[in-house]
Structure 1
Amino acid sequence: MKALIISDNHGDTYHMEEILSIYEKEIDLWIHCGDSEFTEENPLWQNYHTVKGNMDNTNAFPESTVVKYYDNSFLVAHGHLHNVKSSFSSLKKEAEKEGVQVVFYGHTHIPRVDKEDNIYFINPGSISQPRGPIHKGTYAILELEDNSGIVRYYDEEHNPVPQLNEKIEL
Protein backbone atom coordinates (compact mmCIF):
# COMPACT_ATOMS: atom_id res chain seq x y z
CA MET A 1 0.00 0.00 0.00
CA LYS A 2 1.18 3.49 -0.82
CA ALA A 3 -0.28 6.57 0.85
CA LEU A 4 0.66 10.09 -0.21
CA ILE A 5 0.43 12.63 2.60
CA ILE A 6 0.45 16.38 2.03
CA SER A 7 -0.46 19.37 4.17
CA ASP A 8 -0.49 23.11 4.47
CA ASN A 9 -0.53 24.11 0.80
CA HIS A 10 -2.31 27.36 1.79
CA GLY A 11 -4.13 27.93 -1.49
CA ASP A 12 -1.35 26.62 -3.75
CA THR A 13 -3.20 24.67 -6.44
CA TYR A 14 -0.21 24.12 -8.71
CA HIS A 15 1.69 21.68 -6.49
CA MET A 16 -1.46 19.78 -5.51
CA GLU A 17 -2.44 19.20 -9.15
CA GLU A 18 1.12 18.40 -10.22
CA ILE A 19 1.55 15.79 -7.46
CA LEU A 20 -1.76 14.19 -8.40
CA SER A 21 -0.78 13.97 -12.07
CA ILE A 22 2.65 12.49 -11.28
CA TYR A 23 1.46 9.83 -8.83
CA GLU A 24 -2.16 9.11 -9.82
CA LYS A 25 -1.39 5.61 -11.12
CA GLU A 26 0.76 4.44 -8.18
CA ILE A 27 -0.84 5.87 -5.02
CA ASP A 28 -3.56 3.91 -3.22
CA LEU A 29 -4.53 6.47 -0.60
CA TRP A 30 -4.42 10.28 -0.81
CA ILE A 31 -4.31 12.21 2.48
CA HIS A 32 -4.42 15.96 3.09
CA CYS A 33 -3.80 17.16 6.65
CA GLY A 34 -5.55 20.52 6.39
CA ASP A 35 -4.91 24.17 5.64
CA SER A 36 -5.58 23.76 1.96
CA GLU A 37 -7.65 26.96 1.97
CA PHE A 38 -9.75 25.34 -0.79
CA THR A 39 -13.53 25.16 -0.80
CA GLU A 40 -15.28 21.82 -0.55
CA GLU A 41 -16.15 22.07 -4.28
CA ASN A 42 -12.51 21.81 -5.34
CA PRO A 43 -12.16 18.80 -7.70
CA LEU A 44 -9.01 17.63 -5.88
CA TRP A 45 -11.24 16.36 -3.05
CA GLN A 46 -12.40 13.57 -5.36
CA ASN A 47 -9.00 12.00 -4.66
CA TYR A 48 -7.87 13.30 -1.28
CA HIS A 49 -9.24 12.56 2.19
CA THR A 50 -8.93 15.87 4.03
CA VAL A 51 -9.52 17.54 7.38
CA LYS A 52 -10.09 21.12 8.42
CA GLY A 53 -7.07 23.20 9.36
CA ASN A 54 -7.00 26.43 11.32
CA MET A 55 -6.86 28.46 8.07
CA ASP A 56 -9.70 26.63 6.30
CA ASN A 57 -12.90 28.65 6.10
CA THR A 58 -15.35 25.80 5.63
CA ASN A 59 -17.24 23.50 7.94
CA ALA A 60 -17.46 20.85 5.23
CA PHE A 61 -14.30 19.06 6.41
CA PRO A 62 -14.09 17.13 9.69
CA GLU A 63 -11.71 18.25 12.44
CA SER A 64 -10.23 14.74 12.35
CA THR A 65 -11.10 11.48 10.66
CA VAL A 66 -10.11 7.83 10.53
CA VAL A 67 -9.31 6.65 7.02
CA LYS A 68 -9.40 2.92 6.39
CA TYR A 69 -7.61 1.09 3.63
CA TYR A 70 -8.13 -2.65 3.76
CA ASP A 71 -6.59 -3.79 7.08
CA ASN A 72 -5.00 -0.40 7.81
CA SER A 73 -6.57 2.51 9.67
CA PHE A 74 -5.04 5.96 9.95
CA LEU A 75 -6.02 8.97 12.03
CA VAL A 76 -5.85 12.26 10.12
CA ALA A 77 -5.91 15.61 11.91
CA HIS A 78 -4.48 19.04 11.26
CA GLY A 79 -3.11 19.25 14.77
CA HIS A 80 -3.98 22.78 15.86
CA LEU A 81 -6.78 21.51 18.11
CA HIS A 82 -4.41 18.91 19.55
CA ASN A 83 -1.60 21.36 20.45
CA VAL A 84 0.93 19.42 18.36
CA LYS A 85 3.48 22.20 18.68
CA SER A 86 3.95 21.27 22.33
CA SER A 87 3.05 17.57 22.67
CA PHE A 88 1.42 14.54 21.05
CA SER A 89 -0.61 13.66 24.16
CA SER A 90 -3.98 14.80 22.76
CA LEU A 91 -3.41 13.15 19.38
CA LYS A 92 -2.18 10.02 21.16
CA LYS A 93 -5.39 9.81 23.21
CA GLU A 94 -7.50 10.09 20.06
CA ALA A 95 -5.36 7.49 18.26
CA GLU A 96 -5.71 5.08 21.20
CA LYS A 97 -9.47 5.67 21.31
CA GLU A 98 -9.71 4.93 17.57
CA GLY A 99 -7.33 1.95 17.78
CA VAL A 100 -4.85 3.27 15.19
CA GLN A 101 -1.07 3.07 15.17
CA VAL A 102 -0.41 5.76 12.55
CA VAL A 103 -1.42 9.42 12.76
CA PHE A 104 -1.00 11.91 9.92
CA TYR A 105 -0.97 15.56 10.96
CA GLY A 106 0.16 18.99 9.77
CA HIS A 107 0.09 22.49 11.25
CA THR A 108 3.78 22.81 12.21
CA HIS A 109 5.02 22.79 8.58
CA ILE A 110 7.96 20.65 9.78
CA PRO A 111 8.47 17.24 8.11
CA ARG A 112 9.07 14.56 10.71
CA VAL A 113 8.22 11.10 12.00
CA ASP A 114 7.90 10.47 15.73
CA LYS A 115 6.93 7.39 17.71
CA GLU A 116 5.37 7.32 21.16
CA ASP A 117 4.00 4.16 22.77
CA ASN A 118 3.78 2.26 19.46
CA ILE A 119 1.97 5.10 17.70
CA TYR A 120 3.65 6.84 14.75
CA PHE A 121 3.05 10.54 14.18
CA ILE A 122 3.84 11.52 10.59
CA ASN A 123 3.97 15.13 9.44
CA PRO A 124 4.58 15.68 5.71
CA GLY A 125 5.70 19.27 6.27
CA SER A 126 4.24 22.02 4.13
CA ILE A 127 4.31 21.93 0.34
CA SER A 128 4.22 25.74 0.08
CA GLN A 129 5.46 27.27 3.36
CA PRO A 130 8.33 25.09 4.62
CA ARG A 131 9.85 25.29 8.08
CA GLY A 132 12.46 23.20 9.79
CA PRO A 133 15.53 21.50 8.34
CA ILE A 134 14.49 21.58 4.68
CA HIS A 135 14.07 24.97 3.05
CA LYS A 136 11.81 23.61 0.32
CA GLY A 137 8.21 22.46 0.44
CA THR A 138 7.78 18.76 1.26
CA TYR A 139 5.31 15.88 1.10
CA ALA A 140 5.58 12.25 2.15
CA ILE A 141 4.76 8.82 0.79
CA LEU A 142 4.19 5.97 3.22
CA GLU A 143 4.92 2.56 1.71
CA LEU A 144 3.45 -0.14 3.93
CA GLU A 145 3.52 -3.89 3.45
CA ASP A 146 2.29 -6.23 6.15
CA ASN A 147 3.49 -4.61 9.37
CA SER A 148 6.53 -2.73 8.16
CA GLY A 149 7.13 0.21 5.91
CA ILE A 150 9.00 3.37 5.16
CA VAL A 151 8.06 7.02 5.07
CA ARG A 152 9.83 8.69 2.15
CA TYR A 153 9.98 12.46 1.83
CA TYR A 154 10.12 14.51 -1.36
CA ASP A 155 10.65 18.20 -1.96
CA GLU A 156 8.39 20.47 -4.00
CA GLU A 157 10.38 19.57 -7.15
CA HIS A 158 9.76 15.85 -6.42
CA ASN A 159 13.38 15.13 -5.50
CA PRO A 160 13.90 12.58 -2.71
CA VAL A 161 14.94 13.97 0.68
CA PRO A 162 16.51 10.76 2.09
CA GLN A 163 17.78 12.32 5.32
CA LEU A 164 14.12 12.63 6.44
CA ASN A 165 13.09 9.05 5.59
CA GLU A 166 12.05 6.80 8.47
CA LYS A 167 11.31 3.08 8.71
CA ILE A 168 8.26 2.04 10.71
CA GLU A 169 7.21 -1.25 12.29
CA LEU A 170 3.60 -1.73 13.32
Structure 2
Amino acid sequence: MKIICVSDNHGNTYYMEELLSIYEEASDEWIHCGDSELLETHPLWQNFKTVEGNMDIADGFKNERVVELEGERFLIVHGHRHGVKRSYKELMSRAKEENCQFAFYGHTHIPKVEEEDGIFFINPGSIAQPRDRQIGTYLVMDLNRNNHQVSFTFFDRDHNEVKELTQSFNLTD
Protein backbone atom coordinates (compact mmCIF):
# COMPACT_ATOMS: atom_id res chain seq x y z
CA MET A 1 0.00 0.00 0.00
CA LYS A 2 1.22 3.48 -0.86
CA ILE A 3 0.36 6.60 1.13
CA ILE A 4 1.20 10.18 0.15
CA CYS A 5 1.53 12.52 3.13
CA VAL A 6 1.92 16.30 3.26
CA SER A 7 1.56 18.96 5.92
CA ASP A 8 1.71 22.67 6.59
CA ASN A 9 1.05 24.02 3.10
CA HIS A 10 -0.28 27.25 4.68
CA GLY A 11 -2.64 28.22 1.88
CA ASN A 12 -0.46 27.08 -1.00
CA THR A 13 -2.44 24.59 -3.10
CA TYR A 14 -0.08 24.36 -6.08
CA TYR A 15 2.14 21.61 -4.67
CA MET A 16 -0.76 19.52 -3.40
CA GLU A 17 -2.51 19.70 -6.77
CA GLU A 18 0.75 18.73 -8.46
CA LEU A 19 1.11 15.71 -6.16
CA LEU A 20 -2.40 14.60 -7.06
CA SER A 21 -1.58 14.74 -10.74
CA ILE A 22 1.70 12.83 -10.32
CA TYR A 23 0.56 10.11 -7.90
CA GLU A 24 -3.14 9.90 -8.78
CA GLU A 25 -2.99 6.28 -9.99
CA ALA A 26 -0.19 5.14 -7.68
CA SER A 27 -1.51 6.11 -4.24
CA ASP A 28 -3.92 4.20 -2.01
CA GLU A 29 -4.39 7.05 0.47
CA TRP A 30 -3.73 10.78 0.80
CA ILE A 31 -2.95 12.25 4.23
CA HIS A 32 -2.62 15.90 5.24
CA CYS A 33 -1.42 16.71 8.77
CA GLY A 34 -3.01 20.15 9.13
CA ASP A 35 -2.24 23.84 8.76
CA SER A 36 -3.66 23.92 5.26
CA GLU A 37 -5.38 27.27 5.91
CA LEU A 38 -8.04 26.12 3.43
CA LEU A 39 -11.78 25.93 3.92
CA GLU A 40 -13.28 22.53 4.64
CA THR A 41 -15.15 22.80 1.32
CA HIS A 42 -11.96 23.00 -0.76
CA PRO A 43 -11.86 20.35 -3.55
CA LEU A 44 -8.53 18.95 -2.29
CA TRP A 45 -10.37 17.34 0.64
CA GLN A 46 -12.09 14.98 -1.80
CA ASN A 47 -8.72 13.18 -1.90
CA PHE A 48 -6.73 14.17 1.19
CA LYS A 49 -7.77 13.14 4.71
CA THR A 50 -6.90 16.12 6.88
CA VAL A 51 -7.04 17.41 10.44
CA GLU A 52 -7.16 20.83 12.03
CA GLY A 53 -3.86 22.64 12.57
CA ASN A 54 -3.20 25.57 14.86
CA MET A 55 -3.40 27.99 11.89
CA ASP A 56 -6.60 26.55 10.42
CA ILE A 57 -9.83 28.48 10.81
CA ALA A 58 -12.25 25.92 9.35
CA ASP A 59 -14.82 24.56 11.75
CA GLY A 60 -15.27 21.29 9.87
CA PHE A 61 -11.87 19.71 10.52
CA LYS A 62 -11.35 17.16 13.27
CA ASN A 63 -8.55 17.54 15.83
CA GLU A 64 -7.48 14.01 15.01
CA ARG A 65 -8.67 11.14 12.91
CA VAL A 66 -8.04 7.47 12.42
CA VAL A 67 -7.92 6.12 8.88
CA GLU A 68 -8.25 2.40 8.31
CA LEU A 69 -6.83 0.92 5.13
CA GLU A 70 -6.25 -2.73 4.31
CA GLY A 71 -6.60 -3.67 7.97
CA GLU A 72 -4.07 -1.05 9.15
CA ARG A 73 -5.02 1.87 11.36
CA PHE A 74 -3.30 5.24 11.00
CA LEU A 75 -3.60 8.11 13.48
CA ILE A 76 -3.48 11.61 11.95
CA VAL A 77 -2.98 14.75 14.06
CA HIS A 78 -1.39 18.13 13.57
CA GLY A 79 0.58 17.81 16.79
CA HIS A 80 0.07 21.16 18.51
CA ARG A 81 -2.48 19.56 20.89
CA HIS A 82 -0.18 16.56 21.50
CA GLY A 83 3.01 18.36 22.52
CA VAL A 84 5.08 16.96 19.62
CA LYS A 85 7.70 19.68 19.99
CA ARG A 86 8.53 18.31 23.45
CA SER A 87 8.01 14.55 23.19
CA TYR A 88 5.89 11.80 21.67
CA LYS A 89 4.35 10.86 25.04
CA GLU A 90 0.82 12.18 24.34
CA LEU A 91 0.87 11.07 20.71
CA MET A 92 2.05 7.60 21.72
CA SER A 93 -0.75 7.34 24.25
CA ARG A 94 -3.37 8.26 21.62
CA ALA A 95 -1.85 5.88 19.04
CA LYS A 96 -1.97 3.02 21.53
CA GLU A 97 -5.54 3.88 22.58
CA GLU A 98 -6.58 3.79 18.92
CA ASN A 99 -4.53 0.63 18.18
CA CYS A 100 -2.43 2.46 15.56
CA GLN A 101 1.16 1.51 14.76
CA PHE A 102 1.58 4.63 12.61
CA ALA A 103 1.05 8.20 13.86
CA PHE A 104 1.28 11.02 11.32
CA TYR A 105 1.79 14.57 12.54
CA GLY A 106 2.93 18.00 11.32
CA HIS A 107 3.35 21.30 13.18
CA THR A 108 7.16 21.31 13.51
CA HIS A 109 7.79 21.70 9.75
CA ILE A 110 10.69 19.25 10.15
CA PRO A 111 10.56 15.97 8.19
CA LYS A 112 11.43 12.81 10.10
CA VAL A 113 10.42 9.29 11.00
CA GLU A 114 11.16 7.83 14.41
CA GLU A 115 10.11 4.52 15.92
CA GLU A 116 9.55 4.22 19.63
CA ASP A 117 7.94 1.33 21.51
CA GLY A 118 6.53 -0.15 18.29
CA ILE A 119 4.92 3.11 17.11
CA PHE A 120 6.17 5.02 14.06
CA PHE A 121 6.01 8.81 14.41
CA ILE A 122 5.92 10.29 10.92
CA ASN A 123 6.27 13.95 9.97
CA PRO A 124 6.40 14.81 6.24
CA GLY A 125 7.77 18.28 6.99
CA SER A 126 6.21 21.37 5.47
CA ILE A 127 5.70 21.35 1.73
CA ALA A 128 5.55 25.17 1.65
CA GLN A 129 7.44 26.58 4.66
CA PRO A 130 10.29 24.29 5.74
CA ARG A 131 12.22 25.15 8.88
CA ASP A 132 15.32 23.00 8.50
CA ARG A 133 16.00 23.21 4.75
CA GLN A 134 15.57 25.45 1.72
CA ILE A 135 12.90 23.42 -0.11
CA GLY A 136 9.72 21.94 1.35
CA THR A 137 9.14 18.18 1.59
CA TYR A 138 6.50 15.49 1.37
CA LEU A 139 6.50 11.77 2.09
CA VAL A 140 5.68 8.57 0.22
CA MET A 141 5.11 5.64 2.56
CA ASP A 142 5.15 2.08 1.17
CA LEU A 143 3.82 -0.59 3.50
CA ASN A 144 4.12 -4.26 2.57
CA ARG A 145 2.92 -6.53 5.38
CA ASN A 146 3.58 -9.64 3.25
CA ASN A 147 7.30 -8.81 3.20
CA HIS A 148 7.22 -7.27 6.71
CA GLN A 149 8.62 -4.00 5.32
CA VAL A 150 7.75 -0.33 5.51
CA SER A 151 9.66 2.40 3.72
CA PHE A 152 9.43 6.15 4.14
CA THR A 153 10.74 8.04 1.13
CA PHE A 154 10.99 11.80 1.43
CA PHE A 155 10.95 14.08 -1.58
CA ASP A 156 11.45 17.80 -1.91
CA ARG A 157 8.64 19.69 -3.57
CA ASP A 158 10.56 19.49 -6.85
CA HIS A 159 10.20 15.69 -6.54
CA ASN A 160 13.85 14.91 -5.87
CA GLU A 161 14.41 12.22 -3.27
CA VAL A 162 15.89 13.49 0.00
CA LYS A 163 18.10 10.46 0.55
CA GLU A 164 19.37 11.40 4.01
CA LEU A 165 15.78 11.25 5.33
CA THR A 166 14.60 8.10 3.55
CA GLN A 167 14.36 5.02 5.78
CA SER A 168 13.15 1.41 5.65
CA PHE A 169 12.17 -0.79 8.56
CA ASN A 170 11.43 -4.45 9.12
CA LEU A 171 8.09 -4.96 10.83
CA THR A 172 7.11 -7.50 13.40
CA ASP A 173 3.54 -8.63 13.81
TM-score, with structure 2 as normaliser: 0.96
1:120-144 deviation per Cα after TM superposition (whole angstroms, max 9, x unaligned) = 0000000000012x32100001001
Q: Which residues in structure 2 correspond to 1:95-110 (within 5 Å)? A: 95-110=95-110
Partner of 1:138: 137
Q: Secondary structure at the match of 2:38?
A: coil
Partner of 1:160: 161
- Please tell me the residue identity of whatever aligns with 1:33: C
Partner of 2:123: 123
Whole-angstrom CA distance in 2 between matches of 1:88 and 1:74: 16
Q: Secondary structure at the match of 1:81?
A: coil
Whole-angstrom CA distance in 2 between matches of 1:160 and 1:102: 22
In structure 2, runs of 5+ residues without a counterpart are none
* Higher relative helix content: 1
Q: Which residues in structure 2 correspond to 1:1-170 (within 5 Å)? A: 1-132=1-132, 134-146=133-145, 147-170=148-171
Whole-angstrom CA distance in 2 between matches of 1:55 and 1:43: 19
- Please tell me the residue identity of whatever aligns with 1:151: F
| Cα deviation, residue 169, structure 1 | 3.2
| Cα deviation, residue 168, structure 1 | 2.6
Sequence identity percentage: 51
Moved over 2 A (4+): none
- Please tell me the residue identity of whatever aligns with 2:140: I
- Please tell me the residue identity of whatever aligns with 1:36: S
Q: Secondary structure at the match of 1:163?
A: coil
Whole-angstrom CA distance in 1 between matches of 2:102 and 2:168: 13
Q: Secondary structure at the match of 2:164?
A: helix
CA RMSD of aligned residues (A): 0.8
Whole-angstrom CA distance in 2 between matches of 1:2 and 1:52: 23
Whole-angstrom CA distance in 2 between matches of 1:98 and 1:148: 22
- Please tell me the residue identity of whatever aligns with 1:140: L
| Cα deviation, residue 167, structure 1 | 1.2
Q: Secondary structure at the match of 1:164?
A: coil
1:60-104 deviation per Cα after TM superposition (whole angstroms, max 9, x unaligned) = 011001001011110000000001001000000000100111100
Q: Secondary structure at the match of 2:103?
A: strand
| Cα deviation, residue 27, structure 1 | 0.5
Q: Secondary structure at the match of 1:19?
A: helix
